[in-house]
Structure 1
Amino acid sequence: MNEQPSTARTSLKWGAILGLVLMLITLVMYLTDQTSNPLFTGLTLGAMVAFLILSMRDYRSLNGGYMSYGEGLGLGALLSTIAGLLSSAFITFYNVVIDPTVQQRAMDKAREKLEEQGVMSDEQIDQAMEMSAKFQSPGFTFIAGIFGTLFIGFLLSLIVAAFIRRNKANPFE
């Protein structure tokens, strides 16, 4: 009797690898002081799509060439959660231990952009900066990173699983 492959095992493997890749992207972004560069957002999304495709194809091949839409969606959500846990833990560690000035530099850049636009008064900019500072705590950053990665990963999984799935002709096999 054939043993059914586990979506959890596949998710753990590919989620850990994606988590390491996201850590590397974040590290390069921080070291080059490019925290507001949209290239890194695109790179992160591209990595997530690539690893979702790789993981779903891996699971499908382990499962005799078949994967349901639900299996793909579950696999993608779990993979995203694992990657989010790892990358959020790294970002929190980096921001608290290695370089606590990262968030302050990002806030300073945001202030400069708001001042250059000239749409808001100084009072409004100060209020916006105060509000943003409330969301910069390590705990909030960690939780938001996990749920943000899970949310984006789930949305991407909805699309990727639709293309990678391959249902059995006889569901009772």
Structure 2
Amino acid sequence: MEQKVSTPVQKGLIISLLLIIFGLVLYFTNQYMNKGLSYIQYVILLGGIIWSCNTYAKQMNGNVTFGNIFAHGFKTTAFVAALMAVYTLLAVKFIFPEMMDKIMDAARQEMIKGGQLSESQVDQGIEMGKKFFVPFAIGGIIFFFALVGAIGSLIGAATAKKNPQDPFAQQPQM
């Protein structure tokens, strides 16, 4: 019986759900501004992509190449990045609209604490930040997830067990 190979979309859904749950935990524990904890999402993504690559190689019984595994991992990454970009848009605009205000208030405090900007410059910076918050957030997610996903795909492709079979070697001689 042939083993069913899970798709990058299926694995991407699992990784995305883990990332969303982690983000919700940070939000509801009021830790979403904690930069140290927010880096854990990249560890989750990296581990998930490596898991995806290794699982793919196992499901294919090792009959894969480095390129096959890398491509599978990066397809998974692309799906996760797209899904997380959509989730971020929905979260910031509709689910948790107060999040942007809280982030902007924290940015205002940092600007004032720096002491190098006037009140009008701080207000101008905050207005600009509010205007471009969503595009920068989505762009950041896509860029950093693609970067971490590429690294995870490389690691996963390098560590997965490979034993590719030459399809021409098994043909009978005439």
User: Secondary structure at the residue paired with 1:34?
Assistant: coil
Please show how residues 48-127 of structure 1 align to structure 2 within 5 Å: 48-127=45-124
Instruction: Give the length in aligned residue pairs.
Output: 169
Alignment of 1:144-159 (within 5 A): 144-159=140-155
TM-score (normalizing by structure 2) = 0.78
RMSD of aligned residue pairs (Cα, Å): 2.9
The answer as to whether partners of 2:54 and 2:156 remain within 8 angstroms in 1 is: no
Matched, 1:21 2:18: yes
| CA distance in structure 2 between the aligned counterparts of 1:169 and 1:132, rounded to whole angstroms | 54
**Larger radius of gyration between Structure 1 and Structure 2:** 2
Instruction: Give the residue type in structure 1 aligned to 2:148.
Output: I
- Trace 1:161-172 onto structure 2 (pairs within 5 A): 161-164=157-160, 166=162, 168=164, 172=168
Superposed displacement of residue 36, structure 1? 2.1
- What SS does structure 2 have at the residue aligned with 1:136? helix
Question: What is the aligned partner in structure 1 of residue 36 from structure 2?
Answer: 39
Q: 1:81: Cα distance to partner?
A: 1.8
List alignment gaps of at least 5 residues for structure 2: 170-174
